[in-house]
Amino acid sequence: MTEAPPSPHTVPGLRTPLGPRHADQPWWNAQRGSAMPYGRYARPARPQADPTGRTWPSNSLVKAPLWASVDLRDGNQALSSPMDVERKSRMFDLLVRMGFKDIEVGYPSAGDAEFSFVRTLIEQDRIPDDVTVSVFTPARPELIDRTFESIEGADRAMVHLCHATACLWRDVVFGMTQDEVRRMALDSAGQVARRADAAKGTQLRFQYSPETFNVTEPEFALGISDAVTSLWDASPERPVTLNLPTTVETDSPNVFADQIEWMHRHLDRRDGIILSVHPHNDRGTAVASAELAVLAGADRIEGTLFGNGERTGNVCLVTLALNLFSQGVDPQLDLSDLDEIRRTAEYATRLPVPPRHPYGGDLVHTAFSGTHQDAIAKGLAATDRRIAETGDARAVPWNVPYLPIDPKDIGRSYESVVRVNSQSGKGGVAHVLKTAYGLDLPRGMRVELAREVQRIADGDGAELTPADLRAVFTRMYLDCAQPALLLKEFEISRGPRVTVDALVAHAAGRATRLTGSGPEVPSAYAAALAGAGLTVEVTEAHGHPVGAGTRYAAYVRITLDGTPWYGAALADTEEEAHLSAVNSAVNRAHT
Ligand SMILES: CC(=O)SCCNC(=O)CCNC(=O)[C@H](O)C(C)(C)COP(=O)(O)OP(=O)(O)OC[C@H]1O[C@@H](n2cnc3c(N)ncnc32)[C@H](O)[C@@H]1OP(=O)(O)O
Ligand SMILES: CC(C)C(=O)C(=O)O
């Protein structure tokens, strides 16, 4: 009797059902567990949002959400040296240039620097008419009052009220019950509403954030949000921003999406609410959390440039926007000079953007490996051909292997796309010589040159710059310390065949006049070289103008006494380049 396959649930310690195929295989069981104290993190299940009727997995991202920058508050409060007024100003101006309409400019009750930055923006009239600045306040009466002082005289502003709602914070930080936290929220929201009524001449909007939302009991988060938005009389004409954070990211993004969809479907005044999310990146999944939250009904995302923020950071708005861009969706932010954006962000935060950071890192559009370089070079060449055919670069779809977007669209050049080291192949070497120097080598010569480049790169392990590659090319083909042949002068006549009449200096110092004919210049010259006792046959010849066309490059493959050699030359005319390329091949055979 054959044994029944093990049940998918029989592997101990795994919650994901395993197929019977794998569960009893020795290779599957090779990992035997670790000594890590993971038991400390096992927790009783938290009440979760009821996922019944979830729709977000079937939705797709078709338009940009409302973007809100918290670089100047959440990003700033996480820095070891918070931004001074000058750094904050540079960041503010950058955010405005990029097209942000919703910018949290600080936590004015936290101290003088924060307060005076808000005053500077207002008093110097630095806030464009289509931008709303917001100011953050905790739920403490004296700090709310100070926050309102900071925005006196502003045309428009948003007051952002926030306090934690989760059980751990209620118990440990506030020492309050659910009812007491709810009372604190409503008292503060009431104070905000009264101060707003008194702030004549300033158009005020409100934002409420139940901090730690993601680990708050869903019913409590919903109840307190409904109570605050009702007190503020949220309506389509004067919507309230309800901002739901993963203050500390604790779960996979699908859990957050369920929480957001549940709120989206259950909120009392949904049409009077701008549903916002504020993901942090503790698990490294802030981008996914934000994207799934939008699928689940969020209208707005708060985050920072390059993900600066507490601990592992806030969600990176550059990544989110360029993810949309890469899918053909208008990102509604201007990211066309990403390096400038990065420089300003690095200056303001004094933090470097890591080289592998999506889109903005130094290395993200760079390929070192040979097969990737080959594919990229072919993709770029195919795109160039299509652009030449249609005459409209913007109309040609971007289809280049390994490059999700065209680096040029975010202000990067192609020079840095392909970089050469010991992992590179002929495609990469050829691509660099072509893009940096306009040299389009034939395939066989690429193979030969790449072998030499590989030998050098293997030797010192370092990257070769375009200038290094050019130097290798020059040393191999163009420079010859003691040439066996040197072209002194020549004349070419064309009839049914080409005739070359050349004065050639030999290694021995003699100069000989040689004449020969053939179908093309290189073959005619090969025939002429018989007069010098050389049996040369040209098996390949290529050439092209270089740069603005004032120089010409030629590449030949010859056989000399039956052995193949490549040669190359750069000259002022096409004919001279071809004759010199044949000499280059002969000279290489003699060294
Ligand atoms: C989610 C977020 O990121 S919230 C923003 C966090 N940002 C910052 O903390 C940076 C700016 N903060 C500060 O400069 C200071 O904390 C200040 C000036 C605002 C307050 O300083 P202090 O009065 O000395 O308070 P301290 O920071 O030590 O403690 C916080 C107090 O506020 C309470 N609290 C914390 N958050 C909130 C809140 N959102 N609403 C109401 N009370 C709060 C705490 O329970 C604690 O109360 P306790 O003194 O009764 O124990
Ligand atoms: C103010 C809130 C949204 C916050 O910064 C957080 O929870 O991280």
Render pLDDT for 561-570 as a digit per residue (tens, 0 to 9): 899 999 999 9
Q: Which of 127-131, 212-216, 455-459, 480-484 has the lowest mean pLDDT?
A: 480-484
Query: Residue 193 corresponds to which amino acid?
Result: A
205 vs 425, which has greater pLDDT? 205
Quote the tokens at residue 172: 């440990």
Residue 13 has pLDDT above 80, yes or no: no
Binding site annotation covers 278?
yes
Tell me which H or E stretch contains 560: strand 551-560
Q: How confident is the model at residue 30 (pLDDT cuts 50, 70, 90)?
A: confident
* Position 180, amino acid: E
Smallest-distance ligand from the CA of 109: 1
Whole-number pLDDT of residue 9: 40
Secondary structure of residue 539 in the 3-state scheme: strand
User: What is the C-alpha separation between 505 and 512, in angstroms, rounded?
Assistant: 6
E strands, 382-519, in order: 485-494, 498-506, 511-518
Q: pLDDT-based confidence at 7, cuts 50/70/90?
A: very low
Nearest ligand 1 atom, CA 310: 3
* Distance from C-alpha of 180 to C-alpha of 583, rounded to nearest angstrom: 92
Here the tokens at position 443 are 């395939």
If you average pLDDT over every residue of the chain, what do you get?
Answer: 93
576 in contact with ligand 2, CB cutoff 6 A: no
What tens digit of pLDDT does each residue of 236-283 get? Answer: 999 999 999 999 999 999 999 999 999 999 999 999 999 999 999 999
Q: How far apart are CA 294 and CA 218, in angstroms?
A: 18
Beta carbons of 383 and 399 less than 8 angstroms apart:
yes
Q: Is the CB of 74 under 6 A from ligand 2?
A: yes
* Residues 21, 27 contacting (CB under 8 angstroms): no
DSSP string, 100-155: -SEEEEE-GGG-HHHHHHHHHHHHTT-S-TT-EEEEEEES-HHHHHHHHHHTTT-S
pLDDT tens track for 447-466: 999 999 999 998 878 899 99
Write out 498-533 in H/E/C secondary structure.
EEEEEEEEECCCCEEEEEEEECCHHHHHHHHHHHHC
In angstroms, the CA 102 to CA 95 distance is: 9
Q: How far is the CA of 153 from the centre of ligand 1 (A)?
A: 26
Ligand 1 lined by 211 (C-beta under 6 Å) = yes
d(CA 149, CA 169) in angstroms, rounded, equals 29
Count Cα atoms within 13 angstroms, Cβ side, for 147: 31
Whether 210 is in the pocket of ligand 1, judged by its Cβ within 6 Å, is no
How many angstroms does the Cα of residue 247 sit away from the middle of ligand 2?
Answer: 5
- pLDDT for position 27: 80
Beta bridge pairs of residue 137: 161
What is residue 552's three-state secondary structure? strand
- Separation of 397 CA from ligand 2 center, angstroms? 40
pLDDT at 1: 40
Are 569 and 580 in contact by the 8 Å Cβ rule? The answer is yes
Which residue CA neighbors atom 8 of ligand 2 most closely?
247
Q: Ligand 1: does its nearest atom lie under 6 Å from the Cβ of 176? A: no
Three-state DSSP class for residue 339? helix
Nearest CA to ligand 1 atom 1: 211
The answer on whether 74 is annotated among ligand-binding residues is yes
Which amino acid appears at position 315 of this protein?
V
Least confident of 97-111, 336-350, 406-420: 406-420
In this predicted structure, the answer to whether residue 534 has a pLDDT above a threshold of 50 is yes
CA 423 to chain centre: 22
- Has 365 been labeled as part of a binding site? no
| CB 77 less than 6 A from any atom of ligand 1 | yes
Q: What is the pLDDT of residue 554?
A: 98
3-state secondary structure 134-149: EEEEECCHHHHHHHHH
Single pTM value for the model: 0.86
Residues 6+ apart with CB under 8 A from 501: 490, 491, 492, 493, 513, 514, 515, 528
Helix axes 466-473, 443-460, angle to 10 degrees: 120
Give residue 178's pLDDT: 98
Taking residues 173-185, what's their average pLDDT? Answer: 98
**CA-to-CA distance for 564 and 586, rounded, in angstroms?**
10
Q: Name the least confident of 7-16, 258-267, 350-359, 511-520.
A: 7-16
Kindly report, residue by residue over 327-372, the tens digit of the pLDDT.
Answer: 999 999 999 999 999 999 999 999 999 999 999 999 999 888 889 9
Compute the distance from residue 74 Cα to the ligand 1 centre, in Å: 14
